[in-house]
């Protein structure tokens, strides 16, 4: 399976940063000097995400004072060519052909490149020699980050070779708060991109390989959704405001809808999508993470272990879906010819590198139930789809109606009074809104819904930093709060495996169709209608 990531993230044009003495991240301490080794350095992820993020961190004066970038790839490139490719990546990201800022560009001008096969132990030994040289010449102090920006099939190979070459240094995490590195040795961390496994068994096997070479506190399983400002704001919104937590439970919440809608199709990802499908591509990782943050209990502290402990507890409380009742908890669909923004759109089966008889789902909706004291009886509906009317990722918390309605006449005049609704918008317009009822002007009692809104773009002086900048910086400082732990990954796969197994055993069964530009198959409406509810349209 090829490495994939969402192309819509950070798609807005960004002004090219210049060197700034300010610290917009509010770091308590600067990151330690380190070398960042990117496996798959000539790939698309490196070009579109990692290089611009490293450049931004340097411009905002929050990257390590002594940082070396090393590219590792199979392609034969000179270091001059590699540096030119990095410069091109920065220019492409900002849509600007001007020269990179000289004060920010040292990470590019001094980048190194090592050509080698990923299964060649000698190449890793040459890498070890190069890193030792950088420790001497650039003062990287023995601290290393290994970033796996390669197809997932190469993860075990690279991990095993890092161990065989003595580069893992198990137990040296560098996390000052919890795990002190041995004196003079420096720390070592490894960043693993998604998808993390193809199912529960493959995820478990990858964790076994990682544990044989690295300690768990060295492993950073990246999910860039967790680094979005609005996603992080879920924790602040819930636990820093006394007015919401008392009603954040089964007594007041009717249900929760978590939506990730995309207007785009599979684009050039046909081959990948044929293997993955919507459930694996979005729900198992991104939407389950949003669900966990929305429903978890308050952690005892805002630390990596405390936050991740509560997320795992929540995921373990999710009721297992009986294999014989999958159709009552999950719906799948596939888009056919339609229209979006008055433009014709071809069916999924006519997309490039897609089978004309494909049964892969481009839409998936899942109902989750949580068997704990807080959420007993409250359904969580998760949905995602390609070729929906427009892009929108949000969490909608719908509250219960008042137990006794005083304004019956107002209800007769205007229809049923809508319930209170809290919406946390992840993208594209990051922010929050709260819907409640207010009196219409005049002598007669009339009700109408109104909204209070908060938007990052209008309320804050600066746009949020990109997800990859945040996650790279957290890795440099040893903060694993926004990264997935091994038990968390296993629980996320456990939740969706009954659905995946059922769909694999009956490829065409229950695969609804929906026209591109609509909100999914009719069966998705039935999923929530059986509970007396309906989907909202973001």
Instruction: Give me the DSSP letters along 462-487.
Output: SPPPPHHHHHHHHHHHT--TTSB-HH
Question: Is the pLDDT higher at 233 or at 172?
Answer: 233
Instruction: Inform me whether the pLDDT recorded for 182 exceeds 90.
Output: no
Q: Provide, rounded to the nearest whole percent, the portion of the chain with pLDDT above 70.
A: 85
Beta strands in 43-141 (DSSP E): 67-73, 112-115
What count of other Cβ atoms lies within 10 Å of the Cβ of residue 429?
15
Per the CB < 8 A criterion, the answer to whether 391 and 8 are in contact is yes
Q: Where are the domains of the chain?
A: 34-221, 226-466
Domain 34-221 bears CATH identifier 3.40.50.720: yes
Paired sense of beta strands 363-369 and 379-385, if any? antiparallel
pLDDT of 451 > 80? The answer is yes
Would you state the pLDDT for residue 408? 62
Q: Which of 137-146, 326-335, 448-457 has the lowest mean pLDDT?
A: 448-457
**Is 286 marked active-site?**
yes
Choice among 47, 60, 224, 286 that is catalytic: 286
Question: Higher confidence at residue 469 or residue 491?
Answer: 491
| CATH number of the structural domain 226-466 | 3.30.360.10
List, in order, residues 6 or more apart from 243 with CB less than 8 Å away: none
E strand map for 64-170: 67-73, 112-115, 144-148
**pLDDT score recorded for residue 306:** 92
- pLDDT at residue 463 tops 70: no
Q: What angle do CA 408, 409, 415 make, to 5 degrees?
A: 80
Predicted confidence at residue 82, as pLDDT, reads: 92
- Identify the helix (H) or strand (E) that includes residue 81: helix 79-94
Q: Are the C-beta atoms of 82 and 71 separated by less than 8 Å?
A: yes
Higher per-residue pLDDT: 176 or 115: 115
Judged against a pLDDT cut of 90, whether residue 317 lies above it is answered with yes
Query: What is the average pLDDT across 495-509?
Result: 93
Q: Which of 332-336, 417-421, 513-517 has the lowest mean pLDDT?
A: 417-421
| pLDDT tens digits, one per residue of 89-109 | 888 877 755 455 565 667 777
């Amino acid at each position: 399976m090829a490495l994939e990531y969402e192309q819509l993230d950070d798609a807005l044009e960004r002004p090219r940063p210049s060197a700034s003495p300010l610290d917009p991240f509010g770091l308590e301490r600067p990151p330690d000097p380190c070398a960042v080794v990117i496996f798959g350095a000539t790939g698309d992820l490196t070009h579109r995400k990692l290089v611009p993020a490293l450049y931004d961190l340097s411009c905002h004066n929050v990257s390590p004072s002594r940082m070396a970038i090393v590219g590792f790839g199979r392609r034969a490139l000179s270091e001059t060519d590699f540096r030119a490719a990095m410069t091109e990546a920065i220019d492409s990201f900002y849509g600007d052909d001007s020269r990179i800022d000289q004060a920010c560009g040292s990470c590019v001008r001094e980048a190194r490149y090592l050509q080698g096969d990923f299964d060649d132990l000698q190449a890793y030994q040459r890498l070890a020699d190069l890193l030792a040289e950088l420790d001497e010449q650039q003062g990287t102090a023995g601290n290393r980050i290994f970033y796996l920006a390669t197809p997932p099939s190469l993860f075990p190979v690279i991990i095993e070779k890092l161990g065989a070459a003595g580069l893992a240094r198990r137990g040296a995490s560098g996390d000052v708060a919890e795990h002190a590195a041995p004196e003079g040795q420096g720390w070592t961390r490894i960043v693993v991109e998604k998808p993390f496994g193809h199912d529960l068994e493959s995820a478990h096997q990858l964790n076994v390989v990682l544990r044989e070479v690295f300690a768990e506190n060295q492993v950073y399983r990246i999910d860039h959704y967790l680094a979005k400002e609005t996603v992080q704001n879920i924790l602040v919104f819930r636990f820093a405001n006394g007015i919401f937590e008392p009603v954040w439970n089964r007594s007041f919440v009717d249900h929760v809808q978590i939506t990730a809608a995309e207007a785009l199709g599979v684009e050039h990802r046909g081959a990948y999508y044929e293997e993955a499908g919507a459930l694996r591509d979005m729900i198992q990782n991104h939407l389950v993470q949003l669900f966990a943050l929305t429903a978890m209990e308050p952690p005892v502290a805002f630390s990596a272990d405390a936050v991740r402990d509560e997320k795992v507890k929540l995921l373990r409380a999710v009721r297992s879906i009986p294999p014989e009742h999958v159709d009552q908890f999950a719906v799948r669909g596939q888009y056919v010819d339609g229209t979006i923004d008055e433009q014709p759109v071809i069916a999924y089966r006519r997309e490039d590198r897609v089978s004309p008889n494909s049964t892969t789902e481009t839409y998936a909706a899942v109902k989750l139930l949580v068997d704990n004291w807080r959420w007993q009886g409250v359904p969580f509906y998760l949905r995602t789809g390609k070729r929906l009317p427009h892009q929108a990722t949000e969490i909608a918390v719908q509250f219960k109606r008042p137990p006794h309605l005083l304004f019956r006449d107002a209800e007769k005049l205007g229809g049923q009074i809508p319930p209170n609704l809290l919406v946390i918008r992840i993208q594209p317009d990051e922010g929050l809104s709260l819907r409640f009822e207010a009196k219409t002007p005049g002598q007669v009692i009339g009700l109408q819904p109104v909204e209070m809104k908060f938007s990052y773009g209008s309320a804050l002086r600066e746009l949020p930093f990109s997800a990859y900048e945040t996650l790279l910086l957290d890795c440099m400082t040893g903060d694993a709060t926004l990264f997935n732990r091994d038990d968390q990954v296993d629980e996320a796969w456990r939740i969706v495996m009954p659905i995946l197994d059922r769909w694999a055993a009956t490829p065409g069964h229950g695969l609804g169709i929906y026209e591109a530009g609509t909100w999914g198959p009719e069966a998705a409406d039935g999923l929530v209608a059986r509970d007396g509810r309906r989907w909202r349209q973001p």
